[in-house]
Structure 1
């Protein structure tokens, strides 16, 4: 049973879920095309911390979308990539999504080195269709 939320909080929660459902739908289209009719067993992804994807919500959405897309029991295997910035002085620091792009060592502005990924690394399929 889900907890009761105030209307504004419920709307915000649903918007987050819609984001993961949309990602799952697009992912299913790409995977189905790449599988060329073969049974998909696992989809390996790399997702960066700055993509604002909630792991549990993505997995939950994938379970429903993959069934509707005839992907059956295909599982997601996700490599979560931390957000890392680098400043002009060469300092590299792992940052949280809300930390900004300022180097914690020298306060110089930094640029993102990793954390923006959303990549299908590969898919495991049965050889016999």
Structure 2
């Protein structure tokens, strides 16, 4: 389950920010996850709780904002929203798509004490 490794990385980011900004407790972690990132939001929530145990984020809530997958269609020259890779352009049906967004995962915001 790669979500556990991802959550451990999130905890490392949070702890680094705590050292840099001198806060002692994290209440909420807001995470953006792209639709094409291959990270399952429910698995992330489960793994985050385990990864956060006995850290500065112990008991913190993980809020997830889902970002759409976006691609540039080379056939119809439009930016289109896609739900997954290898699906056709919703406008023209072409498979000539270049992914432009939706693979990202980042810590957007922290609520801290």
Normalising by structure 1, report the TM-score. Answer: 0.74
Aligned mate of 1:58, from 36, 44, 48: 44
Instruction: Write 1 or 2 for the structure with the bigger share of helix.
Output: 1
Instruction: Write 1 or 2 for the structure with the bigger share of strand.
Output: 2
Normalising by structure 2, report the TM-score. Answer: 0.83
CA RMSD of aligned residues (A): 1.8
Larger radius of gyration: 1
Change (3 A) 1:74 1:86: same
Is 2:16 aligned against 1:33?
A: yes
Count of aligned residue pairs for this structure pair: 108
Question: 5+ residue gaps in structure 1?
Answer: 1-17
Q: Show structure 1 runs of 4+ deviating over 4 A.
A: none
Question: 5+ residue gaps in structure 2?
Answer: none
Q: Alpha-carbon deviations, 1:11-55, whole Å to 9, x = none?
A: xxxxxxx21110011110110110225211111111101111111
